[in-house]
Amino acid sequence: MTRALVNVPKTAKRGEIIEIRAMIQHVMETGYREGPNGVTLPRNIIKRFVCKYGAEEIFSAELFPAIAANPYMAFSTVATESGTLTFEWTDDKGATQSASAEITVT
């Protein structure tokens, strides 16, 4: 299991724009590097990231090998209601890793 860290404010006022940060442990092997034995290391990257607020997708990204190892992303959303934000990363092989955070909107 790899580690993911997400940062969402615990509370916000309705209509407030909040910043969200998400980071996950991943080599993001480009497929262009050679290993110590001279053989090209096979590509292994996270290629998709999705953030949902409740059931609705509010942000997503398609990643390429030019995204740094241990991908970090910051974006924003409007605080609409109390609930759960879920985060999902998908790699080249289709394996997913997820994380979530609660927010209370007043």
Partner 1 sequence: MTRLVLLGLLACASIGVAAEIPPQDRRSGFEFMSPQTQAMQSEETSNPGMLWVADGERLWSEPQAPAGKSCASCHAEATKSMGGVAARYPAFDEETKRPIDLMGRINQCRAKRQGAASLTYQSDELLALTAYVANQSHGMPITPPADSRLEPFRENGRAWFERRLGQLQLSCAACHDDRWGARLGGSVIPQGHPTGYPLYRLEWQNMGSLQRRLRGCLVGVRAQPFDFGAPEYVDIELFLMERARGLTMETPAVRP
Partner 2 sequence: MKISRPTLDEAINSFTSGASVREGRVKFEISPLVENGNAVPVSVEVESPMTATDHVKRIALFNERNPQADVVVFHLGPRSGRARVSTRIRLAASQTVVALAETSDGAFWSARAKVIVTLAACIEDISQQ
d(CA 96, CA 60): 14
d(CA 86, CA 33): 33
Binding of residue 103 to partner 2 (CB under 8 A)? no
d(CA 58, CA 27): 26
Judged by beta carbon distances under 5 to 8 A according to partner kind, the member of partner 1, partner 2, none in contact with residue 7 is partner 1
Q: Which is nearer to partner 2, 56 or 106 (CB)?
A: 56
Binding of residue 40 to partner 1 (CB under 8 A)? no
Q: How far is the CB of 89 from partner 2 (least distance, A)?
A: 13
Q: Which is nearer to partner 2, 70 or 97 (CB)?
A: 70
89 CB burial (10 A radius; 0-12, 13-18, 19+):
buried
Out of 10, 32, 55, 106, the residue judged to bind partner 2 by CB under 8 A: 32
Going by C-alpha positions, the residue among 106, 90, 102, 22 that lies closest to residue 54 is: 102
Q: How far is the CB of 70 from partner 2 (least distance, A)?
A: 8
d(CA 8, CA 18): 8
Binding site for partner 1 (CB under 8 A): 3-5, 7, 21, 23-25, 27-28, 68-70, 72, 74
